[in-house]
């Protein structure tokens, strides 16, 4: 056996939004490295497909349906995960949505409310449910925020507000629970090639598409495996002194 980076063997990990994009890539990488993973998502079909991909290789991913915007649904998910895994070490709050780019005065109530309900209140629902599960032994909550949670994001202001809110929850909880050895960190990617971003690109003209792709000094989108590798390190004990911070993966955008 070699010495794999980011050893997560045997870790019990719950991932929301695990049926697609960054969540699915993280689930598959963690399971490949020996973690026991529950993925939860609104999308049953895609979630079951990710679980089947892992079990075909003898790896451990179980799917459970959730709507993170619904507190009761989240409570049921955590009860399921605790039972299924026999405890929890890491929770990756990754489920999220965006909205059609629009100047602030043209944003609809529906887009604003939905982004806050899923991206911000959804993460809070999951943090609230995770903490009692992690209190007995300690653990790690990793929230997927965004560079849009750290700086201005013209045309996606509701999304940006929701992600700034996630940073606030992350930093406050990091201090509240440090003594209990529960750590809270955020992952902040810039534009990464996932169905969410492909869907946004499809709604824009070529000039706006290029602006998104070239927003990073590396002049390309991030790849999901560039995010999941960082997530795996965060899930491992190697990250044990990181608490209350943003792990920014942006090709240098915020440098
Ligand atoms: N792709 C990017 O450029 C990028 C950049 C920064 C941050 N992020 C964040 O990364 C996370 C994952 O995004 P992605 O790009 O992989 O998107 P994605 O659309 O590929 O995956 C998101 C998943 O979340 C699920 N989901 C949405 N609403 C849900 C709900 N209410 N309950 C449960 N599941 C729900 C979707 O069904 C989907 O499977 C999001 O929080 C997103 O904001 C993405």
Rounded distance from Cα 131 to ligand 1 centre (Å): 22
Rounded distance from Cα 97 to ligand 1 centre (Å): 5
State the catalytic residues. Answer: 159
**pLDDT tens profile 37-61:** 999 999 999 999 999 999 999 999 9
- By most ligand atoms within 8 Å of CB, the mutation choice from 122, 188, 194, 202 for ligand 1 is 194
- Residue 3 banded pLDDT, cuts 50, 70, 90: low
Query: Considering the chain, what percentage of its residues have pLDDT values greater than 90?
Result: 97
Rounded distance from Cα 32 to ligand 1 centre (Å): 21
- Please state whether beta strands 36-41 and 60-65 pair in parallel, antiparallel, or not at all (unpaired): parallel
**Ligand 1 atom with the shortest distance to the CA of 224:** 16
Return the residue whose CA atom lies nearest to atom 28 of ligand 1: 96
- Euclidean distance between CA atoms 169 and 93, whole angstroms: 12
Average pLDDT of the segment spanning 111-130:
99
123 Cβ below 6 A of ligand 1: no
Report the chain's terminal Cα–Cα distance, integer Å: 38
Residue 88 predicted with pLDDT over 70? yes
Rounded distance from Cα 253 to ligand 1 centre (Å): 21
Query: Tokens 């895994």, residue?
Result: 85
SS (H, E, C) the chain: CCCCCCCCCCCEEEEECCCCHHHHHHHHHHHHCCCEEEEEECCHHHHHHHHHHHHHCCCEEEEEECCCCCHHHHHHHHHHHHHHHCCCCEEEECCCCCCCCCCHHHCCHHHHHHHHHHHHHHHHHHHHHHHHHHCCCCEEEEEECCHHHCCCCCCCHHHHHHHHHHHHHHHHHHHHCHHHCEEEEEEEECCECCHHHHHHHHCCCHHHHHHHHCCCCCCCCECHHHHHHHHHHHHCHHHCCCCCCEEEECCCCCC
22 Cβ below 6 A of ligand 1: yes
**Ligand 1 atom with the shortest distance to the CA of 199:** 19
Average pLDDT of the segment spanning 71-89:
98
Average pLDDT along the chain: 97
Assessment of whether the complete model's pTM goes beyond 0.95:
yes
**pLDDT tens profile 221-234:** 999 999 999 999 99
42 Cβ below 6 A of ligand 1: yes
What does the domain layout of the chain look like in residue ranges?
12-192+223-248
**Ligand 1 atom with the shortest distance to the CA of 195:** 20
The CATH architecture of the domain made up of 12-192+223-248 is 3-Layer(aba) Sandwich (3.40)
Cβ atoms 182, 129 nearer than 8 A: no
Cβ atoms 129, 77 nearer than 8 A: yes
pLDDT of residue 6: 83
With CA atoms as reference, report the closest residue to 17 among 100, 60, 77. Answer: 77
pLDDT of residue 2: 55
Return the residue whose CA atom lies nearest to atom 43 of ligand 1: 96
């Amino acid at each position: 056996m070699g010495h794999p980076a980011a050893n997560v063997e045997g870790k019990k990990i719950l991932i929301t939004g695990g049926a697609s994009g960054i969540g699915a890539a993280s689930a598959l990488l963690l399971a490949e490295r020996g973690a026991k993973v529950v993925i939860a998502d609104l999308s049953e079909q895609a979630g079951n497909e990710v679980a089947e991909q892992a079990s075909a290789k003898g790896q451990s991913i179980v799917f459970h349906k959730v709507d993170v915007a619904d507190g009761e649904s989240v409570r049921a998910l955590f009860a399921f995960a605790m039972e299924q895994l026999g405890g929890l070490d890491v929770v990756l709050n990754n489920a999220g949505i965006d909205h059609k780019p629009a100047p602030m005065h043209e944003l609809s109530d529906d887009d604003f409310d939905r982004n806050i309900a899923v991206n911000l209140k959804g993460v809070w629902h999951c943090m609230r449910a995770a903490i009692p599960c992690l209190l007995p032994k300690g653990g790690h909550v990793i929230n997927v925020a965004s560079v849009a949670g750290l700086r201005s994001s013209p045309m996606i202001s509701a999304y940006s507000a929701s992600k700034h809110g996630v940073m606030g929850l992350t930093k406050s909880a990091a201090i509240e629970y440090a003594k209990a050895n529960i750590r809270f960190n955020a992952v902040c990617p810039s534009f990464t090639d996932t169905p969410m971003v492909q869907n946004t690109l499809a709604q824009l003209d070529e000039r706006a598409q290029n602006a998104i792709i070239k927003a990073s000094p590396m002049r390309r989108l991030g790849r999901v495996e560039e995010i999941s590798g960082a997530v795996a390190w965060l899930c491992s004990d190697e990250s044990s002194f990181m608490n209350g911070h943003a792990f920014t993966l942006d090709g240098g955008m915020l440098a």
